[in-house]
Structure 1
Amino acid sequence: MGASISSLQQLQPQTEATKTKASPAEVQSAFADSLKNAINNVNKASVTSNQMTEKLAKGDVDNLHEVMVTAQKSSVTLQTAVQVQGKVIDAYKEISRMQV
């Protein structure tokens, strides 16, 4: 979960002091890497939740609380990803409607 927050912090606007000249290809690559990392974090949370649920069903895990917390983290992570996706699509549609 901390990794996804740090990914979001990387997307924050840069101040004048921290701006550097980057080519469009570098910016595109950095953005693509950020998206890949975010998707990987969502997938890892889901896989971990599934593994914990399987272990609980097999009787390998006695702590139901831990399993439920893992499942809830996975759910919140997925819901956040879906909400961000919706906002990105809305922003893209808004930009595409702009007249240049």
Structure 2
Amino acid sequence: MKIFPMQQGMQTIALEAQNVSRQATGQQVSQDFAELLSSAIKKVNGLQKTSSELAARFDQGDLSVSLSNVMIARNKSSIAFEATVQTRNKLVDAYKELMNMQI
């Protein structure tokens, strides 16, 4: 599973933005960004669910799940969540900066 789906999505958007033959409207950019953010949050949620399920199976004594699998899944979900929180913080800071700009 990819830990940083948002980064790949943002790279795709950056490449599309460099394509000057297609003019994007504010509404299109807003929809693309909303879809990207929604997709990233769903992937982080999926990683957290997988981590919880593996931990529960390990606790129940499932021999097909090792402790290392549980720890790797837990670390993946933790890193993905931290990346999401940091991205959110940067977006909030950028929004505040835009709101404080003089027109």
TM-score (norm 1): 0.87
Task: Structure 1 unaligned segments of length 5 or more: list them.
Answer: none
Structure 1 position 2, deviation (Å): 5.5
Q: 2:43 aligns to what?
A: 41
Aligned pair count reads 98
**Partner amino acid, structure 1, of 2:97:** E
Q: What secondary structure, in the 3-state scheme, does the structure 2 residue paired with 1:12 have?
A: helix
Q: 1:7 aligns with which of 4, 9, 34?
A: 9
Q: What secondary structure, in the 3-state scheme, does the structure 1 residue paired with 2:102 have?
A: coil
**Partner amino acid, structure 1, of 2:71:** M
**Partner amino acid, structure 2, of 1:87:** K
Confirm or deny that 1:73 pairs with 2:81.
no
Q: 1:63 aligns to what?
A: 66
Confirm or deny that 1:24 pairs with 2:26.
yes
Q: 2:94 aligns with which of 87, 91, 96?
A: 91
Aligned structure 1 segments of 4 or more residues deviating by more than 4 angstroms: none
Query: Taking every aligned residue pair, what percent have the same amino acid on both sides?
Result: 31
**Partner amino acid, structure 2, of 1:49:** S
Structure 1 position 28, deviation (Å): 1.2
Instruction: Confirm or deny: 8 A CA contact 1:3 1:41 kept in the other structure.
Output: no
Distance 1:62 1:36 in 2: 30
TM-score (norm 2): 0.85
Instruction: Confirm or deny: 8 A CA contact 2:3 2:80 kept in the other structure.
Output: no
**Partner amino acid, structure 1, of 2:29:** V
CA RMSD in angstroms comes to 1.7
